[in-house]
Amino acid sequence: MKNQHEHHTMGGHKMPAGKHVAHNDDVMDHSKIKHGSNAHMGMSEHDHHAVMIADFKKRFYVVLALTIPVMMLSMQIQQWLHLDINFSGSSYLLFALASVVFVYGGWPFLSGWMSEMKAKNPGMMTLIGFAITVAYAYSAATVFGLKGMDFFWELATLILIMLLGHWIEMRSVMGASNELELLVQLMPADAHMVMGDQIHDVKTDTLKEKDVILIKPGEKVAADGIILEGESYLNESMLTGESKSVQKVKGDKVIAGSINGNGSFKVTVSHAAKDSYLSQVVKLVDDAQKSKSQTQLLADTAAKWLTVIALVTGIGTFLYWYLTGQTLAFAMERMVTVIVICCPHALGLAVPLVVAKSTALSAKHGLLIKNRTAFENSRKITTIVFDKTGTLTVGKFEVSKIVLLDKGVDEKELIRLASALEQNSEHPIATGILQKVKDLKITIPKAENFKAITGQGVEATVAGKKIRVVSPGYLKEHKFTMPDGFTANDSETVVFVLIYNKLAGYIALSDKIRPESAEAIKTLKDENIKSILLTGDNNKVAASVSKTLGMDSFIAEVLPHQKLEKIKELQGKGEFVAMTGDGVNDAPALAQADIGIAVGSGSDIAAETAGIVLVNSNPKDIASLILFGKATYRKMVQNLAWATGYNVIALPLAAGVLYNQGIVLSPAAGAVLMTVSTVVVAINASLLKVKV
């Protein structure tokens, strides 16, 4: 029987942590986040974004103030408005104001261009930097003698709209990063450390294994550990997605970052803050946000090509109009508009924004994504293979009935004697019997001369009596007559208690089916996904569980090493298989499956072979995961379709294909369109939700 808190020890298929598509100051790079208890102290990713947003905001308002006089002094605007603001040196004043707009307002784009050139990775900043430099250089030349009309006002409005677009975009990106930052900030900075009779406040990141800390009512738990004394109800929803408060008593595990209710208790710290469950989650989310899936790589490639297309089309547009007799100013304006409109901004953000949002949202709902490709591929699943114990069932054997066969023994005595033999065992049956004894407040007697009967039970001497706790197989082998009226229930496991070789009674235990299992299987059916039960249990138990839940089929009496073969068989039939498991013996099957989902790992999230880890053992989470995977992929496709579709329509208009029909886009109109396309992508990503 599997222990559901065992580590998966096999090496996993971990995605390399890459960086998102390069754009201003690595907007999507989360590498600066600090993990652990002091994560929100110092310059975190959140602070970094806040500083950048403030910078864009300030530049926007300065440029806005300067753009008004620039427009008033421009000949083109004066002609449109029938104004005449002309005085000695007005053109030089216009040049001076536009120069400030170009240098101060354009600086983020010019410095970004230099960085991209240094990295030999031309992208969005290269396009904007090139466009504004060409517009500025040409306009400046007209002030000092070149024949033609300047377009300083177009330059100013172009930079103004670009700054606004970046400001809005960075706020959207920060929204996606905030989800992760909220996880980071769950860890309290200080802890109340118990030293003898004294309590000292210490920094959480100084805590180490075996330290004892006090958690007061309403506080956040400062470290993972075991309750040493006291009890309370804890809210773990931000960590596990489980909305109801959980009662915790002496001996129970607690997770750092969970919120205490009205009780107070002492905790023995299990490990340092950097190894806590929360720190592992933050690192996992961070890695997943930075890892690149196939969809992301596709978007990156498209953005690179778009940069090349923009430059080639821009120069081609300039040459075409100039060589067909248009003015230098007109040809320049067309080139600048094409390059601006072609910025692969929306395309570059289409996937990263969805990635950041979906990964952090998943973590808040207890779905931890380790491998982005596995998560995105969840939409392809045709068959889910479920391990039974701890996934579809509660994973805990509970005593369902005690039947007496000897009048000289009562129920309490029978279970008391059985518990003496089971007290040293880790077996789920033993755990179930011991829990019943605890519930009945029975003192467990001492067992002597303890001996295991291989595969069939245990024996020992308790209070001078020779006691055996054995399986039905033992009775058959030793020619015992089965008691009258005994029928083995498909979903029950029975152990018989023998006193001095005489049947005294039997204890039936059952592993209850989770109430959420049937709903999860129904959801999968609605999505046309087959569900198969794979278990080491006998055929009768497997058939009963499978039928009760309405599953498509079951594979029973499978040994751990055979699970891998069964997954291969399904894949051989062309199925796209997801495997859910919770124990170390599921690791090879999890690795073989197209998508490995580790279930019920609780605070052990180092399930290396699984691409996805579900914190709770709730099978509904598996259905939620698949639905969320599909929703996430839809958002990515929508964003990519919008980002490319917009360029397909806007680029020819910018180049002037409808010039003869009187339709022509100015650089400022191009900038507006580009900004709108980016904002649409950002808003669409922010609408992503987890259905639970």
Whether residue 383 contacts residue 529, with contact meaning beta carbons closer than 8 Å, is answered with yes
What is the spatial order of strands in the sheet that 246-248 belongs to? 246-248, 232-235, 259-260
pLDDT at 168 over 80: no
SS3 117: helix
| Selection from 125, 134, 126 nearest residue 165 by Cα | 125
The partner residues of 291 in beta bridges, in order of sequence, read 17
Whether residue 174 contacts residue 56, with contact meaning beta carbons closer than 8 Å, is answered with no
Give the residue numbers annotated as catalytic, written as ranges: 387
190-275 topology per CATH: 2.70.150
Q: Where are the alpha helices (DSSP H) in 392-481?
A: 411-422, 428-439, 472-477
> For residue 509, which phi and psi values (nearest 5 degrees)?
-125, 145
Q: Does domain 359-393+514-622 have CATH number 3.40.50.1000?
A: yes
Greatest Cα-to-Cα distance within the chain, rounded to the nearest angstrom: 120
Structure tokens at 202: 């210490």
Q: How many CA atoms lie within 13 A of 19 on its CB side?
A: 10
- Region(s) of the chain under CATH 3.40.1110.10: 394-512
- What span, in angstroms and rounded, lies between the C-alpha atoms of 474 and 181? 58
- What span, in angstroms and rounded, lies between the C-alpha atoms of 207 and 141? 66
Average pLDDT over residues 341-351: 70
Q: Tens digits of per-residue pLDDT, 473-511?
A: 888 888 888 887 776 666 677 889 999 888 999 998 887
Q: Where are the alpha helices (DSSP H) in 324-395?
A: 328-341, 345-364, 372-376
What's the whole-number average pLDDT of the chain? 78
Q: Tens digits of per-residue pLDDT, 577-628?
A: 998 876 555 777 887 888 888 876 444 544 456 778 777 777 888 888 888 8
Q: Tens digits of per-residue pLDDT, 199-256?
A: 889 988 888 888 999 998 888 898 889 999 998 888 876 565 555 677 888 888 888 8
- Region(s) of the chain under CATH 2.70.150.10: 190-275
SS3 83: coil
Ramachandran category for residue 272: left, alpha or beta (phi over 0 → left; psi -120 to 50 → alpha): beta
- Region(s) of the chain under CATH 3.40.50.1000: 359-393+514-622
pLDDT at 388 over 80: no
| Selection from 481, 488, 510 nearest residue 405 by Cα | 481
- What span, in angstroms and rounded, lies between the C-alpha atoms of 393 and 513? 4
Average pLDDT over residues 11-38: 34
Q: Match 């050139």 to its residue by tokens.
A: 117
Percent of all residues in the chain with a pLDDT value above 90, rounded to a whole number = 14
Q: What is the pLDDT of residue 37?
A: 35
pLDDT at 267 over 90: yes
- What span, in angstroms and rounded, lies between the C-alpha atoms of 653 and 322? 17
SS3 538: coil
Distance of CA 350 to the CA centre of its chain: 17
CATH number of 394-512, picked from 3.40.1390.10, 3.40.50.300, 3.40.1110.10, 3.40.30.10: 3.40.1110.10
SS3 408: coil
